[in-house]
Structures are given as structure tokens and as C-alpha cells.
Structure 1
Amino acid sequence: MKNRALVAMGIPAGPCAEEAKRVIAEAHAAGSTVRAAGDTLQSIIASPDAYLDDARYGVLASHLKAHQVAAKAFTPRQSVAPYRIWGEHLEPDSVRQLQNACSLPVAVAGALMPDAHVGYGLPIGGVLATEHAVIPYAVGVDIACRMKMTVLDLPVEALETQRERLVSVLERETCFGIGGGFRVKRQHEVMDADWRVTPVTADLKDRAWKQLGSSGSGNHFVEFGTLSVSDDAVGLPRGTYLALLSHSGSRGSGAAVAAHYSTLARRLHPELPQSLAELAWLDLDTEAGQEYWEAMELMGRYAAANHALIHQYIARALNVEVRLDVENHHNFAWRETHQRPDGTEREVIVHRKGATPAGEGVVGIIPGSMATPGYVVRGKGSTASLLSAAHGAGRRMSRTQARKTLSWQDAQALLRERQVTLLSAGLDEVPMVYKDIDEVMAAQQDLVEVLARFDPRLVKMAPSGEPPED
């Protein structure tokens, strides 16, 4: 039985769930049915005291009893931490997730971006400031997922006149898919870092090296397109350029770090009710908190290295210079100083899960979809949004719904209309699954200003059927 099914029964993740699985396995081996085992579990959940001395069920009863005692000790904030919402008609469940996060004892303030949708713990598009605590699921599973754009010294006309060459380079110098990696390891100084900073990262170095420079799956992509610069502040004169844009994160290594420390956080906070369990935190004064922070920082450098190599190898294969380089993280936590309502300042931990840093003057990238524009933006430094903005268009339908209701025929017709060549992707990533990027941008005019517009032309993503890593 999976953790989700056990949680639905009332058995929390961690020691309780592991012991319940052992009990079910023993019952199955003894010839008991799943239904009978489930009935027994329900009985233990209802009255753990009655099973404390039972040779078969005593350990599970003890774990459940301890969890129930701890849960009664939970004291939420007297009032929800202040938060602001940008955008209209957001999913009620995503709003509820932010409200839950702002009810945590460690919460200081929150914000919800106009691309928001439901995630684990904190919603995608959620921003949360906490007091000396980090929440693994408020950072996200794909730690340090990021955007990177380089403007290449090629004429825009190359998208037509050298199309086959550009396609060939994209196919040869990128790698997508769960577990995907290069046969010949690529080299970057991040692999010279001390991966023994935590026991978890120490065991991940070989996997990370194999996947170094690759892109993963889900909404991750590498694409050529045109960049129309409308403000010289972007670093180039106004005009239209050929650009390379990529989106991906820390691959399997980041996912392993997230899985380990989110599980650990839940075990350290059995007092949290089920609605808040995925928001369990790690105190930064503890060994666990320091370990996660070190691992997260390393995953940030690793994700940046992946992008650096993608852009380096493609530029080298094309034998061209890079004229502009812009990049930014999302799915990360930062130590920042923010003002209290009374005007005084304090250090907080700002989690941006699917949100772009948008401090005053900070340049970042907010993509659309494979057939809609993305934007290079400059932050306006809004304190109400915790110096944050949206990280993309945001999904308007689930992957399951997309596969059930959409067709490749309609998607390809739209791609042709927008002059986009799609090399590979899943049906659950076609443009129709995303919100209108221009509506998202209009909803956050007080957070960022647009410096340039990117329009995709040649797009590569993980092939259809790959499980998502985003």
C-alpha cells in the first residue's frame, strides 16, 4: 500500500507508515486479504492503546499513539501571517495552500503570484517568508530550477536559412528524460566542490556527474527564438536578436535531496495536522536544517552548471560568440532582510517556489509556453510581494486532463500558426495547458517591467511519455 493511501486512512508518513507497510506485508504473507489488513489498521488507528502490548501490532500502536499525543500539542499562529495575492480566478486550492502556509508558527508573510497553481505543500507561484526555518516543500522537488538565456552572434535569419544546422545542434548537444545523461561526462568546476557536505549529497555525486549538462523532463526545455529588445537596460541596443533559452533544474540529485529532507522534516514535526504536514520545516539552528541548507546551495550551483554547459556546448558547436547572458533561479530559499510593518528590519528566509526574484533592478526571465512569448523583466522591488514575481504562464489544467482532452492535431495547427518547430514534447506540455502569459504579465505590472520579448521558434523538450521532473 502506498503512502498516499495510508495517509488517507489516517496513518501519517514516516515511522507510522513504514511500520504499517510491514504489518500489511506480514498479513499478506500469512494469507490475509488487503481488505482484512485494512480493517485491522483502522482498528489500531481508532484505539492504539488497546494494541500497545500486542506482539504483532505493538510497535505500530506505539508510533500512532506518539503521533496523536504530539498532534494535540500543535499550536498554530493566533492569526494568519499577512499575505497578498496577484491575479484573478486563481485555483481555490492554491489559495488555500498559501493560507495554510501562513498559519505555520514560523511564517512571517506570504504572497501568491498570478501564475499560481496547486503544488506539494506550498503552491507553485507561492512565496513564503519564515523565521529562521526552511521548508523543503516550500522550495520544491526540483531544487534551484532556473532560466538561462544567451543571445548568440548569429543573424535572426539563421532561424530559416540555417534551420537544419540549428536543429542538429539542439538534438546533439542536449539530453532530456528521467535518468538521462551523456555517455561522455561533461566537465564543470561544480564537480570539484565538496559533495560530502551532507551524507545525502555524498552519495549523489556519481549520478549528478552523469547527468551534468542535461535537462530533465516535464516543463523543461531548450529552444531557439527571437529576442526583441525594447529597453537598452537589458544590455543590448534595441532591436531583434537570435537567442537560446533553457529551463531546467538540479535533476535527479535535487529530487533526492528534496525527498530525504522533506521526509525528515515531517518526522521531526509529528504535531502538524494533515493539512500542514507537507509544510514541515527544519530549524536552521539544527544539524538537519544546516544540512538541508548546504545541500540546497550545492544543488543551486549544480543547476547553474547544467545550464552553463548547455549554452556553452551549443555556442561552441555553432562556433559563435555570446553577446548577452541572463539567468535566474526559482524553487529556492534565500536569506534576505525585509521590513516589519513598523518599519524595522529583520532577516527572514524567503522561499520562492515557482516565483522569480524581482528586487529593485534585478533582471530575470519569465517564459510563456512553446508557442507564446516569454519576457526579460526588471524587478520593481515590491515589498508586498516579498521582492518576487511570477515564474511563467502557469498551468491551467493538470497533465492528466491535458492527455484526456487535448489532441496533437490541434496543437500542431497552433504551432504552425505561430511558426514554431517542435522537435519533441509530451501532449501535457502543449500551449493550451497554460494560462495566457500576457494576462499573467498584466496582473503583475506593479512587480516587474518588461525589457525584452522572446518568441520561441525551435523547441526541444522531453519526449512524450516521460514522467515530469518539474
Structure 2
Amino acid sequence: MNTALHQTLHDEGGVPIKAWIDGVPLDEGARKQLRNLARLPIVGPWIAVMPDVHLGIGATVGSVVPTEGAIIPAAVGVDIGCGMMAYQTTLRADQLPENLQTIRSDIERAVPHGFVTVEGRSLKGSWIVAPNSATTRWRGLEQRYRALVERHPRISHKSPLSQLGSLGGGNHFIELCLDETDQVWVMLHSGSRGVGNGIGQYFIEKARNEMQKQQANLPDRDLAYFKEGSEVFDDYVQAVEWAQEYAAENRQQMMETVLTVLRKHLPSFQLTRMAINCHHNYVQRETHFGRELYVTRKGAVSAREGQFGIIPGSMGAKSFIVRGLGNAESFCSCSHGAGRVMSRTEAKKRITLGEHRAATAHVECRKDVDVIDESPAAYKPIDQVMAAQRDLVEIMHTLRQVVCVKG
């Protein structure tokens, strides 16, 4: 393994902050959030900061937050279980049509996304009638969800089935990519959709109320937490685990839909063993340095030794299939992407439509003003992000997008 690349930021009254930020920017707002996290009595032995770190709500995106005997719902966030999935196929670049517009438009019609309505198929990003495969998946999730709703009626979503296999909006995407040998990959990014958002919002508010009752002196109200052993804690853990499973099933359902579209347009192909379905917004119980901890990865990926993961670049930039090096100092984690350097509002003000079109000239994708906040210039350079974490992962494949469907 390479020499450790992180730097340790010490803050009076808090645990150390170990940051893999060599050569990448860390804005002052994110620094403040990290210091606030480091001062919580439940956090430790330290916080690990990934090179894609940027300002979040309560906790920074791109951070690994270990807690003992407690969980911070806002650190997990509202897109619970958000993550990536990728398949390597036996297709090669020369088997793709010269014009990829039809493939993109057919994927956009087949997969509910954003707030787009497709007559007879989807209404504002949700199924009008869910396919049988999604209904079958939902049967495996429904009973536990109904039990959660019975205890916490406010988390009830009008129809979780209607979004199972849907993309959503924002930075979620579906891509066709080519690796360094011109092999074709299918990659996508999504989470637990509206049902996960409802669970996240509800428990974040409940944690705030619990802390208020205890008159806890928090550096930020969004850092309210549940303590292990309480009834709310146990319910939150069950709800989060359920939402994370829903998110993984959502990605699998979408992937099957996309592959069906591709089989209509492309020569016969197979999927290789290189299949990855990983979260990057989640919490789970793990053992580190002999301590039982709840490890929250908010915009971070598990990178145990030999474990495969996905680090996507921005729209039009490179992405990477990586293998973890098991670096204990990072709690065996790595970044989940490039990380924003501009807010969405700032990006829309600063990036011109011409600049966006030039940056995505090699990709079949949307090139309108409504996706400028996702343009490559809004993100950190992915090569710098990868260089800063070369002691956390090794690059197995470098992917370049040829088709990108944005929510």
C-alpha cells in the first residue's frame, strides 16, 4: 500500500478529522460542519473525510462518521441507500450504432425519471402501472414496510411500488460507458426515492424533537441523534435497513429495464461477472479497532480489501471501477464521486449553455439549460479526486460515457 496521504485536522474539544484532501479544495462551510461533527460526544475515534467532500445538511457529503451507541439521522440523510450499480457486458464499442440518440430516448421512455410523464407508461417519474417484475420485488418488501408505517404513520408514502425501478432527478443518471479496452458497461445511480425521503425527513425531525426535550447543547440542530436502546433508535435502524434494501432493489429493477432496451437495439450480448451494486449514503454496524461502531457513510463507499466499488465522475467526465485497499484509517472507505465545487444555483449562474455543450460534446445526453447544474464544471476534477485517495483504492477500470440519461 502507498504511504498514507491524509492529513489530520485537530479541533479543540473534538476528535481528530483525518482528511484525504491533497490537491482538492475544502471550502470553509464544509470545514465548519466537520468541526461541529467532531465535537459530538458520540463520534469517534475520528472522522474520515473523502476528497469529494462538500457542504451538506448538518453533515458534510463525502465523510465517514463513526458513532458509538448512537446514530445521527441527518448524517445518513434523506436519500437513504443512494448508490451505484454497474454491469460489464460482452459488447464492444464497434457494435454500438454511430448515432446513439435512439437508445437514449428509448431508455428515457422505458425508465420513469425526473418529473417526466410518458403517456401510457409513467406519470411525473412514477409508474402508471408497475411492471410485473417490480410488483414481485415489492412483495418481498411490503410486509416490513407496512409494519413500520403502523408504528410511524407519518412515513407512509402514497405508493412505494410506483417508484420501484425509477431514476428520480438531480444527480441521478443512467449511462453507457466504454472502458480502456472499449468494452461496454451499463452504469446507473439512484436511491430509495420518495419512500426513503419520507423516512429520512420524519426521523430527522423526530431526532431534533428528542434532543430538544433533553435540552442537549448541539452545535447544529441537524446533528441531533438517537441513542442505542431507545424505542425510536430501534425503529430508525429497522427503517433505514429497509430503505437501503429498497434502494438496492430499485437499482436492480432499473438495470433490468435498461438491459431490455439495449437487447432490442444491439447485437446479442452477455453480462460478465463484473457486477456491482453499492450504497454510498447509508449506515451499518461494523467493527473497527476492536470497537463496535455505527459507521455512517454520507457520500462515501465501502472499500474493504478486495471489495469492488464505483466512483463516477460528473456528466461528461471519466468514471472508475475500483477495488478497495482496506485502509483502516479511513474505516475502509473511499469517495463516492467527484464532489461539487458549485451549488446548483451558482452553477446555473456561472456555466453557460455553450460551455456545457462543449464539455459534453462526446456524450449523447441532454444539452439544455435544465441540466447545467450537473455540468462537469460544477464538480471537482475527478483525476485530482482519484489521486488524493490512491491509498484507499486501486483503479481496475476507467470508463468514459457515451450515453447519459439524466433525471
* 1:141 partner SS: coil
CA–CA separation in structure 1 for the residues paired with 2:306 and 2:43: 27
Q: Is the 1:197–1:295 contact (alpha carbons within 8 Å) kept by the matching residues of 2?
A: no
| Distance of 2:228 and 2:179 partners within structure 1 | 41
What is the CA–CA distance in structure 2 between the aligned matches of 1:387 and 1:197, rounded to whole Å?
Answer: 34
Aligned to 1:85: 19
Conserved 8 A contact 1:359-1:379: yes
Whether 1:313 and 2:249 are equivalent positions in the alignment is no
Does residue 374 (structure 1) correspond to residue 319 (structure 2)? The answer is yes
**Hey, what's the Cα distance between the residues in 2 that align with 1:191 and 1:458?**
33
Give yes or no for the alignment of 1:241 onto 2:183.
Answer: yes
**CA pair 297-288 structure 1, distance change in 2 beyond 3 A:** same
For each residue in 1:325-363, what CA deviation from the matched residue of structure 2 results, as whole angstroms up to 9, or x when unmatched?
112101100100010xxxxx1110000000111111111
Q: Which has the higher contact order (CA 8 A, sep 6+)?
A: 2
Query: 1:354–1:391: 8 Å Cα contact kept in structure 2?
Result: yes
What is aligned with 1:105? 41
Q: Out of 159-168 and 434-443, give the one that drifted further.
A: 159-168
Offset at residue 306 of structure 1 (A): 1.2
Q: Percent identity?
A: 35
Query: 2 CA distance for matches of 1:107 and 1:203?
Result: 27
The residue number in structure 2 matching 1:357 is 302
1:135-180 deviations in whole A, cap 9, x for unaligned?
Answer: 1111112111010011233232233346244224312222211552
Match of 2:137 in 1: 189
Unaligned runs of 5+ in 1: 1-76, 229-238, 340-344, 463-470
Is the counterpart of residue 216 in structure 1 residue 168 in structure 2?
yes
Summarize deviations over 1:348-383 as a string: whole Å, max 9, x none: 000000011111111100000111101011111111
List aligned pairs for 1:52-451, cutoff 5 A: 79-88=13-22, 89-108=25-44, 109-161=46-98, 163-178=100-115, 180-186=125-131, 187=134, 188-193=136-141, 194-199=144-149, 200=152, 204=156, 206-228=158-180, 239-270=181-212, 271-273=215-217, 275-319=219-263, 320-323=269-272, 324-339=274-289, 345-416=290-361, 419-423=362-366, 426-451=371-396
Shift of 1:427: 1.2
Instruction: Identify if the C-alpha distance between structure 1 residues 159 and 201 changes in structure 2 by more than 3 Å, giving closer, same or farther.
Output: farther
- Deviation of 1:211 (Å): 0.8
SS at structure 1 position matched to 2:127 = coil
* In structure 2, C-alpha distance between the alignment counterparts of 1:146 and 1:227, rounded to whole Å: 20
Deviation of 1:276 (Å)? 2.3
Kept in 2: contact 1:335–1:347 (CA 8 A): yes
Kindly tell me: are residues 246 and 96 of structure 1, through their superposed partners in 2, closer, same or farther at Cα, counting changes over 3 Å?
Answer: same
The root-mean-square deviation of aligned C-alpha atoms, in Å, is 2.0
Structure 2: gaps (5+ residues): 1-10, 116-123, 264-268
Can you list the C-alpha shifts for 1:391-441, whole angstroms capped at 9, x where unaligned? Answer: 10000011111111111111102211xx11113652111111000000000
Shift of 1:273: 4.0
In terms of mean alpha carbon deviation, does 199-208 or 119-128 score higher? 199-208
Q: For 1:377 and 1:155, how far apart are their aligned partners in 2?
A: 21
How many equivalent pairs are there?
369
For 1:312 and 1:335, the matched residues in 2 are separated by: 30
What is the TM-score when the length of structure 2 is the normalising length? Answer: 0.86
Is the CA contact 2:100–2:364 (under 8 Å) kept in the aligned structure 1? Answer: no
Take 1:401 and 1:158, find their aligned partners in 2: how far apart are those partners? 40
What is the DSSP-based 3-state SS (H/G/I as helix, E as strand, rest coil) of the residue aligned with 2:91? Answer: coil
Matches within 5 A, 1:23-42: none
Matching residue's letter, 1:358 = A
Whole-angstrom CA distance in 1 between matches of 2:220 and 2:344: 25
Query: What's the TM-score once normalised by structure 1's chain length?
Result: 0.75
Secondary structure at the counterpart of residue 238 of structure 2: helix
Cα deviations by residue, 1:250-294 (Å, 9 ceiling, x for unpaired): 111111111100000011112344632111111121111111111
Mapped to 1, the partners of 2:70 and 2:63 lie a distance apart of: 16
Distance 1:376 1:422 in 2: 22
1:205 Cα deviation after fit: 5.7
Distance 1:164 1:432, change over 3 A: closer
Residue 342 of structure 1 corresponds to which residue in structure 2? none
